[in-house]
Amino acid sequence: EKLTAWVLQVTGTGAGTVAGDGSIIEAAASRFQEIKAEALAELVVKQREKMAASEQEAGEEKRRETEKARHDLNSLLEAQQVLEERQQQRQSRGKKGEVTINRQEPEAVIQPQKDKKRLQASYKPSVLVNELRIIIGQAVDPSSETQVVTSLLDQAQQQGVIETALFDAGYFNQQVIDATEERGIELLCPEGRSQGKDWHKQSGKYYPKSHFQYDPEQDHYRCPQGELLTCQSRYKGNATSPAYRLY
């Protein structure tokens, strides 16, 4: 914080307007160490047996083998606990499928890389910068860029008052909205990923918002198939939930 404050003082800048974004970096772990729950459970059983056999034999060398076996077992148990927690989180969100973990680096998450073709154990680092692109907030999360926004804002606020925060559409969720609203920060963040009427999503199952035409006089939307979406109800909102109209 002291170093950042000194850099801001020398450059004559502050934290008035900030922008945040994240990326993805691969973990320093071999992909051949990736494993699923069933295989990991089998390894734990084998490692317990190996450690029990080492404990029964005497000698300095066997003592070192026992210590190594215990260390390896603890590493496997740690990976097993993380894997079970992630599997439970996945199920709570209604998602199916098995979770894979890298036992060399269980904190990392197996996730798509920027080329969208590979799955690799990775982390998501994020930064918050001012108008001169000086980093005034930084954080790393295993899989989420939005989870660290609160931490980024708190770090940046140590360097001055934040008036405006800019994020791309990937940050448009209630958590980010609440984090900026609670701190009195103006949030500039697009709520959709559409880029005009000629833009198409990769999936053919959905229409982007830009393909729906709104008629303000009739207060209805016309979908690309010609059907109408009419207003069914309105919610005024409260202290915890934003207002909305249901079409």
Q: Measured between alpha carbons, how far is residue 70 from residues 34, 48, 51, 54, 239 in Å?
A: 21, 8, 6, 10, 52
Confidence of residue 198 (pLDDT cuts 50, 70, 90): low
Give pTM, 2 decimals.
Answer: 0.62
Instruction: Tell me the pLDDT of the chain averaged across its residues.
Output: 84
The span from the CA of 126 to the CA of 158, in Å, is: 18
For 146-193, the pLDDT digits (tens) are 999 999 999 999 999 999 999 998 898 889 999 999 999 999 998 765
For residue range 23-61, what is the model confidence (pLDDT) as tens digits? 999 988 777 777 777 777 787 788 787 777 777 776 777
Give the ranges where the chain is alpha helix by DSSP (H): 2-11, 37-55, 60-92, 149-157, 174-182
C-alpha to C-alpha distance for 210 and 121, rounded to whole angstroms: 35
Among the listed ranges 187-191, 193-197, 224-228, which one has the minimum average pLDDT value? 193-197
> Tokens at residue 92, please?
């709570």
**42 vs 29, 36, 46, 66, CA distance in Å?**
21, 10, 6, 19
pLDDT value, residue 30 = 78
Give the type of residue at 134. Answer: I
| CA distance linking residue 60 with residue 67, whole number of Å | 11
| Angle (nearest 5°) at CA 177 between 90 and 137 | 85
More confident residue, 2 or 57: 2
Confidence band, pLDDT 50/70/90 cuts, at residue 130: very high
Q: Among 67-71, 89-93, 113-117, 202-206, where is mean pLDDT lowest?
A: 202-206
* Dist CA 178 CA 239 (whole Å): 11
Q: Which residues pair with 119 in a beta bridge?
A: 112
Residue bearing the bigger pLDDT, 135 or 237: 135
Quote the pLDDT of residue 68: 80
Is residue 153 a contact partner of residue 183, using CB atoms and an 8 Å limit? yes
